[in-house]
Each structure stands twice: as structure tokens, then as C-alpha cells.
Amino acid sequence: MGEALKKKGRPAKSDKTIETDKVSELKYMLARKDARIKQLEMENEHMRDFLSLTGRK
């Protein structure tokens, strides 16, 4: 009976691992938002060019 009880299932993540996962997730979210902003800026630029070519602006 000197043997410790073994827990079933996956071992718990350490606090450091959880923090690293959160940092990675936030970096990914920021990168996606930056990419979306660049895409919208490009679309706006194309729309302005189109409007100026058609004489609407």
C-alpha cells in the first residue's frame, strides 16, 4: 500500500503551459486582425481608384 494512487486520464497542464497557450492565441488573434485591416485598406484604395476613374469622386 506504499504505492501512490495513479490518476487516470491526461496529466494537468502546468500554469506555464496555459500562459504560453494564451499568449500564442492572442498573438494569432492580433495577426488575423492586422491581416483583415490590411485587406480592408486595400479594398478602400481600390474603391477610391475605381470611383476616381469613373468620375464619381
Provide the pLDDT for residue 3. Answer: 57
Provide the pLDDT for residue 8. Answer: 82
Q: In whole angstroms, what is the distance from residue 23 CA to residue 49 CA?
A: 39
Provide the pLDDT for residue 16. Answer: 80
pTM: 0.62
Q: In whole angstroms, what is the distance from residue 49 CA to residue 29 CA?
A: 30
> What are the average pLDDT values for consecutive 10-residue runs of the chain, which has 57 residues?
69 82 95 98 97 85
- How many residues does this entry show for the chain? 57
Q: In whole angstroms, what is the distance from residue 34 CA to residue 28 CA?
A: 10
* Rounded to 5°, angle at Cα 42 from 36 and 47: 125
